[in-house]
A and B are shown apart, each in its own frame.
Chain A
Amino acid sequence: MNETMTRPAAGASLIGQRIAKLDAPEKAAGKTRYVHDIELPGQLHAAILRSSRVHARIIRIDTSAARALPGVHAVLTAADVPDQRPIGVAKDHLPLKSDRVRSLRDEVAAVAADSEAIALEALRLIEVEYEDLPVVADAEAALAPGSPLVHPPIPGAAAGAPVGLAGRADNIAMRFDYGHGDLARGEAESDVVVEDCFALHYVTHCCLGVSGVIAEFDAKGNLLLYSNTQVPFLHKREFAEILGMDPARIRIIQPPIGGGFGSKLDIYPFEVICVWLARATGRPVRLVFSREEEFLASPTRQPVRLTLRSGCTKDGRLTFRAVHTLHDNGAYTSWGATTPFVMMQTFSSLYRVPHCDYHTIAVYSNNPYAGSFRGYGNLQATFAVEAHMDKLAEATGMDPLEFRLKNAQVVGEVSGQGMVFRSCGFQDCLRTAAQRSDFQSKHREYAANRNAPGRFKRGIGIASMLHVGGGAKIYPSDGCGTILKLDDFGHVTLITGASEIGQGSETVLSQLVCEELGLPMTAVTVVNNDTDITPWDVGVHASRTTFIAGNSAIGAARKARAKILAAAASRFDCAADSLALRDGHIVRAASGERLTELARFLRSLHFSDRAELVMTSFYYEPPSVHQDKNFKGDVSAAYAWAAQVIEVEVDTDTGVVRMLRVTAAHDVGRVLNRLGIEGQIEGGIVMGQGYALTENLVVEAGRIRNPSFRDYKLITAPEIPEMDVNFIESMDGEGPQGAKGVGEAPAICVAAATANAIYNATGVRITSLPFTPERVYRALHGALPALRPTPVMAQR
């Protein structure tokens, strides 16, 4: 695709057009102020002293020299904040560590000073004496009997106290056990059974804008946070609990965010510490990470060990799947530990599987803190499932496309997990991606050429994915509020709870509102970054914003339109439904005859005896349900589907894999902003390319060995593949104008399709990532060590 934006003709629909991002001009001019760019009067600069040990007891901390340094305003250790409350989804994380550090990222002390240089100098003056403890460096070791404990029980803790205050007697952070059907029956019905172990590695978000926050207490003692969070309303509540404050006295402003991708879903110690420093100094305090700190102390994607056993009949019908996975949480539990919610959907419901069992253990270790990351477990699950789809197809003598089509979900299906597929373009995705890439004939040709002489081998692989596309009902509400205000000049202020994190939500929400009100895109201002103003929203996650906030915006716009047309009907003495809003005018719907300019009519409503200002609000709650205790239920109002075909070239002399071409077909419900959605898909594919080929956060005995862009290899511009992006418009009945969520989808099946392409090229199946030259070369020479099966624990 190589097209510029479109300029819709007056009165033409905005839906499906190529609309430029509203904030693009100011960003291209360098005028956008991110959290790093905000300088409040009297602002101090903070820095955090982190542990130099992986696992150790803190014997002594001496901050006297740091406190004496000119320009230092406050030095905090755990001793200065008694009664700390644990943060995080499992309440297992105290922001400042008192007696023990559990990972290299752990916060030991913090400084606020006149400048960043002074703050860093003060950190160097803090003396900490440690006594090393045995390190739990591996998830399997964490489960072993007699393993050192990461959170040992704390004597005298109150009954029922969370892990952060009470500890626990083992290293198990979370368990998930799911099943449908009868596994034994599935095995018995199988003609072919395959089993493999998979190992998925550490990668991290690498947002170009490093983490940062500014905290300030105003004259009334209210807290103002300038925060990069993706979940401002959940954050506000959690801050209130941690700080023992009335939530009404906490305001969160979100400056534009320099990349999110799931990294800003949790509350982190640095944010709490910055608030404490602001409280201690009575000054605004800004805390911004260095890039090295970003690598060391921001979250990672969950590393996963996985054993998958799958079966099918000889005519290619899937019979069962049995899955055991082991997740390494690191020392604390993030929302990312709940990725099994998403992983089990792929195992149970991407294809029709009559019998499915899924078991996960997430353990504590002294490794980096694993968090949530675009795709949320689905890259890992899809990598395994799609390897087996190819293996089973080959074992039954079927083409990989035919085998998938035979087992693909179709519209109207209710999956074993209770997901209801009201719109489903999955088979269209498979056919489109295969046809446009000439998949079937190339797949045969490349397999036939596998053993021909020659250093470079071509291969082509296909993989598919299922992901929530209509929100995910995890929190008590999965809704979003909108307030719409029309002024005397026909200008609309769209106040939405949904955050903009670069994905283009404010543009698409404006489009939806303008479409309802017959206005051009220039008629809207979006307010979306201040919890004192915006209505509640659960946050940017689960690819939910276009769907949920979009429906909310449409709801508010339709109420405004109804109000305007009802008033116009009485003015022009006709039925409201005979009128319409088009191109900034009130018109007769049938003929298009212009009755009055909208702005003029709004003024006349406002400045009349029965003065009225057109303002509306709407709260949208999707018609999804919470899962039951067995993880069953229709958790999303819609589901997104995709298939991607990837063509690679493998250099068998060096193990270098080049990604040549990606043909993607995504069921997005309906394209709302073609320019924006292409950007989401292309960016997601390249993020997936990095996961597949180059990105690897190397962790050895709890230490990150490559905390820099020099040693952590992101994809650069010359390395991107040719991308052919196609959209399947299944017109979801609940979606805004038929659309479904797409944010996470494009990254999910890239690694899986790449693995299948490498197999097609070489006949070698690699079940661990990333496909670096070393790994591929070893695999081609049979020198890649076999993966151990995932440990299995007795079920509860």
Chain B
Amino acid sequence: MSLEPEAARPREGPAHEIRFTLNGVQRSASVGITMSALQMLRDVIGLTGTKYGCGEGECGACTIIVDGLSVNSCLLFALDCDGRELTTIEGLAGDARAKVLSQAFVEYGAVQCGFCTPGMMVQATHLLATQPHPDAAAAKRAIEGNLCRCTGYQKIAQAIVAAGQALAAGDQP
């Protein structure tokens, strides 16, 4: 979907103006009542790092952080983002924990086609924020809701564990 005049949005109803914090920046957006946060991020705001994989909360490719919790942005109405703090994969660029994690994703071979990777990265960053030193079982549990068809998950879990260890060792903040 692209930015369209109100009249050309037959099933979305009138647009509403919402205000929220996105990746540390305050902003507003004009969204329809049926629009998901995922559609708003991708089609209204133009941040395409968050992926559409299923649209019904089953694959985790659209995972973002809302007020400190990881959520499937396809299941969140855009309207419900009003007044909240959103972080997407793009917003992790300056995050010290995510930097260690993305390095681990690269070095441990956790990336193949890469389509699930942004969701995995966001979910794993959220895990390390709440549980800094996960073991393999905890890492796998944390990404249970994120589907990957390429890697078999093993190397993703290893990367998450290694990032936790690197952070604990004080390699990075």
Contacts and interface: CB of A to CB of B under 8 A. Distances in A.
A504 B150 CA distance: 11
B58 interface: yes
Contacts of B11: 117, 120-121
Nearest to B61: A208
- A3, A18, A501, A676: most-surrounded residue (chain B CB, <10 A): A3
A501 B115 CA distance: 11
A193 B102 CA distance: 56
A32 interface: yes
B55 interface: yes
B1 A45 contact: yes
Interface stretch (A160-168, A307-315, A716-724, A764-772): A716-724
B8 A209 contact: no
Contact of A115 (B1, B139, B140): B1
Nearest to A294: B54
A678 interface: yes
B10 A121 contact: yes
Main SS class of interface, A? loop
Contact of A208 (B10, B115, B156): B115
A62 interface: no
A709 B112 CA distance: 21
A36 to B, nearest CB: 7
A25 B114 CA distance: 10
Interface in A496-516: 501-504
Interface in A1-59: 2-5, 18, 20-21, 23-25, 27-34, 36-37, 39, 43, 45
B70 interface: no
A666 to B, nearest CB: 14
B152 A682 contact: yes
A71 B10 CA distance: 10
B10 A114 contact: no
A210 interface: yes
Given A30-B49, A34-B115, A502 B150 contact: yes
A501 B113 contact: yes
B16 to A, nearest CB: 16
A782 B56 CA distance: 38
A657 interface: no
A252 interface: no
B114 A23 contact: yes
Contacts of A717: 139-141, 143-144, 146, 148, 153, 156-157
B56 A708 contact: yes
Contacts of A4: 104, 107-108, 162
A710 interface: yes
A551 B137 CA distance: 41
Nearest to A36: B52
A20 B107 contact: yes
B113 A714 contact: no
Contacts of A43: 2
Interface string B1-32: 11010011111100000000000000000000
Given A28-B102, A30-B90, A118 B8 contact: yes
A205 B7 CA distance: 39
A29 B12 CA distance: 32
B85 to A, nearest CB: 18
A27 B139 CA distance: 20
A114 B7 CA distance: 12
A114 B2 contact: yes
Contact of A504 (B112, B141, B153): B112
Contact of B149 (A118, A120, A259, A682): A259
Contacts of A25: 102, 106
Interface stretch (A334-342, A646-654, A683-691, A731-739): A683-691
B7 A70 contact: yes
Contacts of B151: 679, 682-683, 686
A368 B31 CA distance: 38
Nearest to A4: B107
A415 B48 CA distance: 51
Interface string B148-173: 11111111111000100000000000
24 contacts: A5-B109, A20-B109, A21-B112, A29-B102, A34-B51, A37-B42, A39-B2, A71-B4, A114-B8, A118-B9, A208-B61, A208-B148, A258-B113, A260-B113, A502-B114, A675-B108, A675-B109, A679-B112, A684-B152, A708-B58, A714-B149, A716-B153, A717-B146, A718-B140
